[in-house]
Amino acid sequence: MERTEIFKRLNTIFEDVLDLDETPNLTEETSANDIEEWDSLSHIQLIVAIEKEFRIKFTSSEIIKWNSVGDTVNSIQNKL
């Protein structure tokens, strides 16, 4: 799957899960520091939603290495 398609789906997921008023326009470098609603608890909710959307399962060791949305997209691509 192309990265642009993954980002498109992630934008929707972030908007839904974090209850944002508008699309977050995620980039490769976006991190939790850039989105106020993205805290440690909502991070879990995002992961659950992402796994469900893409029908994949991440390991904890993968997840804790992520520093940005770009890292998450890499993990998603590796599993598709």
Partner 1 sequence: MECKIEHIGYLTDNIEETIKIFVTLGFQQVGDVVNDDTQRTKLCFIEKAGETPIELVEPYEDNRTMQRMLSKHGNGPYHLCYGVDDIDASYEEMLADDWLPIFNPVAAPALNNRKICYFFKQEVGYIELVSKK
Shortest Å, Cβ 2 to partner 1? 27
Q: Which of 37, 65, 78, 79 binds partner 1 (CB under 8 A)?
A: 37
Give 16's contacts (C-beta < 8 A, 6+ positions apart). Answer: 49
Residues 3-22 that bind partner 1 (CB under 8 A): 19
Q: Which of these, 17, 27, 5, lies nearest to 50 by C-alpha position?
A: 17
d(CA 70, CA 66): 8
Question: Does residue 33 touch partner 1 according to CB under 8 A?
Answer: no
Binding residues vs partner 1 (CB under 8 A):
19, 37, 39-45, 47-48, 51, 59-61, 63-64
